[in-house]
Amino acid sequence: MTEPASDPKRSAQRLQWARTQLDDGDAVVERASVDAGMRSYWRTTSQRGSHIVMDAPPGLEDPTPWLRMRGLLHDHGLRVPALLAQDLDAGFLLLEDLGGPTLAKILDERNADEWFSRSIEQLLRLQAIPVPADFGHFGEALLQRDAGLFDEWFLQRHLGLELDCGEIEGLQLVHRRLMDNALGQAQLMTHRDYMPRNLMPVDGGPAVLDFQDLVRGPIAYDAVSLFKDAFLSWPLQRVDDWLAQYHQRARDAGLPVPDRATFLRDADWMGIQRHVKILGLFCRLRYRDNKGHYLDDAPRFIAYLDEVLPRYRELAPLQQLLDMRIKPALAELAAPMRVLR
């Protein structure tokens, strides 16, 4: 699949639009980032300074949800990029340039506590926003879809596994238990990708990015996404400590969190649900969308599962599948790579 952002005609349109908005015929545009969808982000340098152009190709990406969610978050005190100009027909937005790297790039052992504390503050503001009646719900349908990503794209397409009847039954039981856990939690505003890669370390922040998929969802989802990131790992005890900190601050803020032990269990199970979903999603990005680099982080999710699954006998069928089928299949996939080195 050809990336729309690389199309010469689209590139010329993007450059001309940016120069017109900035009133600078010498403005230059260079790639800033691209996400898992068809949106791309471009840094413009002109006489007016540095700005970001969001490119959402018509027919492939609709920027309207992003605009609506941005306004909602801004109105409730969250730090989000300022909107400077828009052309929905052309699929271009001109945004404030929030500067350098994302939080994922600057976090380390020394500053993680401070930045995660600030990130919790922003998350609590987000979760306190009343969910509009027409928002989607991270309910049964989305949870079933997530489970299907793991089964179809990771187990079948990537690993080539054919499960026997007992393995299928056990996996379906685990999926059902994870879904019931998610549906049984308090449901409130949920980002669904609240992780350091989507947070910018700026004054009054971190600023929140990639918020166009806001839904009503489980209270533990965003917290576990923050501390058990798709692209960044921390020791399990430190993660548990941060989750406990979030729990206490959420309780102090009046959010409907359960008791601490229940919340930590909910977060563990929510993390497992998210991690198996992302394994499937990253495989789909590779095989359907030709974005193979996401699979470089697959070992991180296997490690997450290895850490948490032994805590819960109710999820033993997934642990058995991981040990008996998934790990051997992954080792077999890696074997040719070892020979070539």
Residue 341 is predicted with a pLDDT of 36
Residue 294 is predicted with a pLDDT of 87
Domain count, the chain: 2
How would you label 35-52 residue by residue, b for 16+ Cβ within 10 Å and e otherwise? eeebbbbbbbbbeeeebb
Q: Which residues contact 72 (CB under 8 A, 6 or more apart)?
A: 129, 132, 214
On whether both 80 and 117 belong to a single domain, the answer is: no
On whether both 248 and 291 belong to a single domain, the answer is: yes
Cα separation, 206 vs 80, whole angstroms: 9
Cα separation, 165 vs 177, whole angstroms: 18
CATH of the domain at 304: 3.90.1200.10
On whether both 83 and 113 belong to a single domain, the answer is: no
- Among left, alpha and beta (phi > 0; psi -120 to 50; other), residue 45 is beta
Residue 340 is predicted with a pLDDT of 34
On whether both 274 and 189 belong to a single domain, the answer is: yes
Q: What is the CA radius of gyration of the chain?
A: 21
On whether both 112 and 14 belong to a single domain, the answer is: no
Residue 51 is predicted with a pLDDT of 97
Residue 292 is predicted with a pLDDT of 85
On whether both 63 and 188 belong to a single domain, the answer is: no
Strand segments, DSSP code E, in 160-262 are 187-190, 199-200, 207-208, 215-218
Q: What residue numbers bound the domain in which 264 lies?
A: 103-340
Which ranges of the chain have pLDDT less than 70?
A: 1-5, 34-37, 335-341
On whether both 188 and 333 belong to a single domain, the answer is: yes
Residue 74 is predicted with a pLDDT of 97
